[in-house]
Structure 1
Amino acid sequence: MPINLSGLFAGRLQSMTHMQLDGVASWLDGFVVPGGEGLSKRQRVDLALEGLDETRLAELALKLASQNEDVELDEAARRVLEASDPPLTRITRRDVARVFGDDLAGELDLLGLVGKYFVLSSPLEMFIPSSGRSLRDQIERHMVRNPGDWSVEYLFEQIGAFDCSRARFSALIVDAVHPPARSGEDQQKIVAELNKVLTQDGYHLVQEREESGHPIFGFQQVVRGVAGRPKNLIFASRGPKPEIGFADAINNEIVILSGEENCLVYDRPIGTTGLLWSELVAWWSDLVPGSTAAELGARLQESLASKAEEALFKTYFRTYRNALGDNLPALLPQVYLHYDPATSKSLRHRLLLPRQRMDFLLLLPKRQRIVLEVDGKHHFSHDDTPSLRVYADMVSADRELRLAGYEVYRFGANELLGIGAEEKITDFFEKLFRLHRVGSKS
């Protein structure tokens, strides 16, 4: 029977004193429980919950559950937040257990690993009936003192791992392949086997970083992204094409030989979380000591090629700078994609690489790269004459980008200027951020 999250959350609040309810907002994300003479705790809580949408309720419930180590409330909240995601089925969880065989923890303490996510001091009443003996006692007897008595599949049945939230299950699996548990060939082998199983439901373990030379994996939904990590981010070009060489060709380290004043080169690692505006500002302040975010914004605007691009750029930051804060993705203008050292005038015996620069690029989490193009008449004409060849080259380059995993969105320059332009821009970004869960706490 589904758990009523609203009722569960309300019950937890009603168990507090009136004084505690008065102070809830200070530690529960600004959630205010109204007061009033003669109001009961139930009436106060009912007023606080009135009109609260389900997602906000779930986020508040997660925070309260974390404060009190409340597994039941945490599970109920996560079920709401995970409702729109592909399910991690019982079949897949069973197959994951079978990959581990009878060794879930590797070199870790098994009771410590499992107890981090599941209640072991007594039978987990949420998921299984009482057996008269604590789960901790049973696990210690059948898997620690007598290894092999229980398989990981049987363990999962006992602790409720087949029915718990995806977040709880995935956190357990990630810890089970973390370097303190497994390393080297053993880690790589079991991750490969787990991914064969997990991808059936649209999930996989992905290396997110390294720690002391060991891969650290995270649990992610399988998405179409661009393979590999960004290495050379050359952007904000405001003049002639810079000349680029390799400072170290083996390590793919580039150097700007000339024209350095016409572009910016972001030279810090970009991981699976993408590139945020706050990270770009931190880089800029190190590059130009004493400089501000506003000065970086002004420098980026110098590279914009039209009033339409300027409208898109300014509306983006004006609308989302405060709304998303440190979670705001960096909107990078004039980013080099293909780089051909030759100029079009100097080419005689070969073609010029197409789409050398993108108007705008967003690097979002999970390797998602979003290209925004603002089309003026030069995208469809040559010497002010409509040209099917120019148009064909443009759509061909778009196809290649999409096949490489990029998302490409085009705006007509006229869309971004005049009456209703700002609403059109914000509507696009609202839908894009919703699609990619930018700013989401889930």
Structure 2
Amino acid sequence: MVDSRDRSALRQLVGEVVSRRLSGNTHATLNAAFEELAMPHVPKEEGSLRVRIERSFAQTSDSDLPRVAERILAQGNLNAATRNGIEDLLWAESSPPEIPKRIRRELARALDLTAMARNQARFMALLERFWVLDPEESLADLLLPTANRTPSLRQLIQQHVFRNQEDWSAEDLFENLRAFEAGDARFARFLEGAVSADVLLDEPAQRQLVDVINERLRSAGIELRETGTDGGYPRFTMVSTRLADNRRPKNVIFASLTKPDIRFLSAVDNDIEIVGDPDNVLVYDREITGDGIRWRDLQSWWQDTQQISSEAEAKKTLYHRLRRSLPGNSPGQRNLFELYHQILGPAVYDLPALLPEVWLHWDHKTVRERGPEALLRSRMDFLLLLPHGQRIVFEVDGSQHYTRDDGQVPDSSKYAEMVAGDRDLKLRGYEVFRFGHDELKDAEYARGLLHEFLPALFQRFDVNGWTR
């Protein structure tokens, strides 16, 4: 899968940092430094340090560039302006919801700055994390007497927010931070931080601030929603309110060996009844938290329900049970399942579990028996339940999706049924990604495709935990 996004601005900014950061190496240490930044090795015989650095960075593909940028951010030691520039370019790729300037300003006018900044050290740490408080000073600036220097934003905040608390309103602070012009992702993350336990060590104060913020944000189709806990305090995340249905799933029915006999309206959002052999289908019935279902959650559930004492044995038997549910006539589905785990490696433990053969809608009567009352779609090839209520569906489409008579005759009605099912899923808050079976039937070709696709997917949906 080719990533066609223009990353020229990111390449220029990251390239400047790479050049400065790696220039202090020797020929002997340079390849190790490349590896730390997820950049390709260049043999020392190929030239000077500068040449090797330039060649390695030139060989870094655009699809790998975000990973290099993330490694640089993780290493730290960047000035705030450079850090913010890299972050803004990365965060923009996840298509954050728009927060218009008017709503930002109306929100700022409604906020009580004194209540937000009740703990000076914690509030200043929040501001340092997201904004540029100290300018880059030139040698000429440093030679000026202190009294003649232009005060930094940090100094202004200390004076007008903390020493003289009535000087600035929240609107004044936002104006000086340039928060009204900031990227949508930065503004949203700043608000998440402002209501976090890192800043407000008081749950009623957290909830009161969330209520004030949400009253203004909901007109933009977003809100701060409680998605978990942090040290016993609620954790709030900015989410869209425009998904048709982003409630937490109650039941996940998956890995079926035969067509299950289930009676319900929606297996994800309602209680269900399973008739017949329960061993033919798995039902994850634990609470699904704001983290979604990670492999660690699935393995823990499996270990408990199967009464397995060894974690290693639970991991092995769960993997084989899931793999056994895949259809034998679809090498593409098997490759997708196996390569997902091979590519992610040990990191998969803390990443979303890839659930195969998931039943979204089912009724004991067939479509033929129920006619137009039957739900259009009954099963998903794969489902990922991501943090913050995000739901991802993978479908592997063979010719049976749009032909009949063993692929000999095009069938527009089958195609219409498929796209109608997609619409239904999207209206229920799912994102659907389709793969042609021919893309995945060859394992090596599929490996290259998924090696590009998976990091782009996780970045798009802000899933942390995997470093390639």
* Same fold per superposition (TM over 0.5): yes
Q: For residues 42 and 204 of structure 1, do their structure 2 counterparts lie closer, same or farther at Cα, with a shift above 3 Å needed? A: farther
2-structure distance, mates of 1:429, 1:48: 20
Match of 1:320 among 322, 330, 340: 340
Q: For residues 261 and 22 of structure 1, do their structure 2 counterparts lie closer, same or farther at Cα, with a shift above 3 Å needed? A: same
* Aligned residue type for 1:25: A
Alignment-derived partner of residue 124 in structure 1: 134
1-structure distance, mates of 2:282, 2:451: 25
Match of 2:425 among 373, 379, 401: 401
Alignment of 1:327-406 (within 5 A): 327=348, 329-340=352-363, 342-344=364-366, 353-366=375-388, 367-372=390-395, 374=397, 396-406=420-430
Alignment-derived partner of residue 28 in structure 1: 36
1-structure distance, mates of 2:180, 2:172: 10
* CA deviation after TM superposition for structure 1 residue 223, in Å: 7.6
* CA deviation after TM superposition for structure 1 residue 233, in Å: 0.6
Match of 1:261 among 279, 288, 313: 279
1-structure distance, mates of 2:212, 2:270: 31
Alignment-derived partner of residue 189 in structure 1: 211
SS in 1 for 2:128: coil
RMSD: 5.0
The reply on whether 1:216 has 2:235 as its aligned counterpart is yes
Alignment of 1:42-61 (within 5 A): 45-46=53-54, 49-53=57-61, 54-61=65-72
1-structure distance, mates of 2:414, 2:51: 67
Q: For residues 45 and 191 of structure 1, do their structure 2 counterparts lie closer, same or farther at Cα, with a shift above 3 Å needed? A: same
CA deviations on 1:328-374 (whole Å, 9 max, x unpaired) are 6433232222243x445997999555533334333345513315265
2-structure distance, mates of 1:368, 1:19: 47
Alignment-derived partner of residue 144 in structure 1: 162
* CA deviation after TM superposition for structure 1 residue 316, in Å: 1.0
SS in 2 for 1:307: coil
* CA deviation after TM superposition for structure 1 residue 189, in Å: 1.8
* CA deviation after TM superposition for structure 1 residue 62, in Å: 0.9
2-structure distance, mates of 1:276, 1:211: 18
Relative to its length, the structure with more helix (as a share) is 2
Q: For residues 71 and 23 of structure 1, do their structure 2 counterparts lie closer, same or farther at Cα, with a shift above 3 Å needed? A: farther
Match of 1:175 among 185, 193, 202: 193
SS in 1 for 2:361: coil
CA deviations on 1:112-169 (whole Å, 9 max, x unpaired) are 313344299x962159x99644545543432234322101222233345456666654
Is the contact made by 1:111 and 1:139 (CA closer than 8 Å) also made in structure 2? no
Q: Which structure is higher in RCO with an 8 Å CA cutoff and minimum separation 6?
A: 2
Is the contact made by 1:208 and 1:218 (CA closer than 8 Å) also made in structure 2? yes
Extract unaligned runs of 5+ from structure 1. Answer: 246-250
Alignment of 1:41-80 (within 5 A): 45-46=53-54, 49-53=57-61, 54-65=65-76, 68=77, 70-80=79-89
Alignment of 1:268-307 (within 5 A): 268-288=286-306, 289=308, 290=310, 291-307=313-329
Q: For residues 17 and 416 of structure 1, do their structure 2 counterparts lie closer, same or farther at Cα, with a shift above 3 Å needed? A: closer
* CA deviation after TM superposition for structure 1 residue 61, in Å: 2.5
* Aligned residue type for 1:231: K
CA deviations on 1:359-390 (whole Å, 9 max, x unpaired) are 433334551331526567598779x9999887
* Aligned residue type for 2:128: F
Alignment-derived partner of residue 81 in structure 1: 90
The reply on whether 1:115 has 2:110 as its aligned counterpart is no
Among all aligned residue pairs of Structure 1 and Structure 2, give the percentage whose two residues are the same amino acid. Answer: 29
* CA deviation after TM superposition for structure 1 residue 94, in Å: 4.0
1-structure distance, mates of 2:423, 2:304: 38
The reply on whether 1:232 has 2:256 as its aligned counterpart is no
2-structure distance, mates of 1:109, 1:27: 41
2-structure distance, mates of 1:404, 1:123: 43
Alignment-derived partner of residue 97 in structure 1: 108
* Aligned residue type for 1:304: L
Is the contact made by 2:39 and 2:68 (CA closer than 8 Å) also made in structure 1? no
Is the contact made by 2:251 and 2:285 (CA closer than 8 Å) also made in structure 1? yes
Tell me the TM-score normalised to structure 2 length: 0.68
Is the contact made by 1:244 and 1:256 (CA closer than 8 Å) also made in structure 2? yes
2-structure distance, mates of 1:345, 1:394: 14
2-structure distance, mates of 1:49, 1:137: 39
Q: For residues 20 and 118 of structure 1, do their structure 2 counterparts lie closer, same or farther at Cα, with a shift above 3 Å needed? A: farther
Q: For residues 271 and 34 of structure 1, do their structure 2 counterparts lie closer, same or farther at Cα, with a shift above 3 Å needed? A: same
* CA deviation after TM superposition for structure 1 residue 236, in Å: 1.4
* Aligned residue type for 2:361: H
* Aligned residue type for 2:238: F
Is the contact made by 1:234 and 1:336 (CA closer than 8 Å) also made in structure 2? yes
* CA deviation after TM superposition for structure 1 residue 253, in Å: 6.3
* Aligned residue type for 1:434: A
Q: For residues 253 and 132 of structure 1, do their structure 2 counterparts lie closer, same or farther at Cα, with a shift above 3 Å needed? A: same
Is the contact made by 2:227 and 2:236 (CA closer than 8 Å) also made in structure 1? yes
* Aligned residue type for 1:81: L
* CA deviation after TM superposition for structure 1 residue 231, in Å: 1.4
Alignment of 1:156-167 (within 5 A): 156-162=174-180
Is the contact made by 1:143 and 1:149 (CA closer than 8 Å) also made in structure 2? yes
